[in-house]
Amino acid sequence: METGKYLLETPSSKLVEVAAIASKYKGRRDKLMDVLIQVQRVTPAISREVSGVIAREMGLPLPDVYSFVTFYAMLSVHQQGKYVIRMCKSAPCHVRGAQEIVDAIKEQLGIDVGETTEDGRFTLEYCPCIGLCEFSPAILINEKAYSNLTPESVKDIIKQYIREDAI
């Protein structure tokens, strides 16, 4: 297990919340994804300490928890922004101009893929296919999908989030 990817210390009050969530599913390996999604809502990232608490409370090996966290795009060991922008990196999106979309986002927010804006509002990531191949290129912002993007349309979408956040 690569412990170097765990970059965040989690406050003990949050670890108590994590334990309460995970303990409800002791021995229920089939509920690991549900637990991880719930946990990420209460912690800024699924740190090493958080993974250990989940593993202990659910009775699972730590490497099993880690493999889920690092495999699925919606889970992260890094602190993320309020708005996580996930750019699909599948072949259809790539062929239809995904790089131009990423470049427009990077230019507008002043960050690179894998980074978060200084104000903590936006994180830009690549992810596997998001299932919108026929409407590509596509992104997800948190759980909301946007498709048939152009560099101009994606900039307008980001501006909406900036305005909403300022209100």
| Cα angle 105, 109, 113; round to 5 | 60
Residues 6+ apart with CB under 8 A from 65: 32, 36, 51, 54, 55, 58
Residues 6+ apart with CB under 8 A from 72: 33, 36
Report the chain (167 residues): mean pLDDT per 10 consecutive residues: 48 88 94 92 83 95 88 76 87 87 95 90 86 88 91 95 77
Q: What pLDDT is stored for residue 166 in this prediction?
A: 61
Domain ranges of the chain: 3-71, 83-166
Cβ(125)–Cβ(140) under 8 Å? no
CATH architecture of the domain 83-166 equals 3-Layer(aba) Sandwich (3.40)
pTM of the full structure: 0.68
Q: What pLDDT is stored for residue 12 in this prediction?
A: 78
Cα(52)–Cα(55) distance, integer angstroms: 5
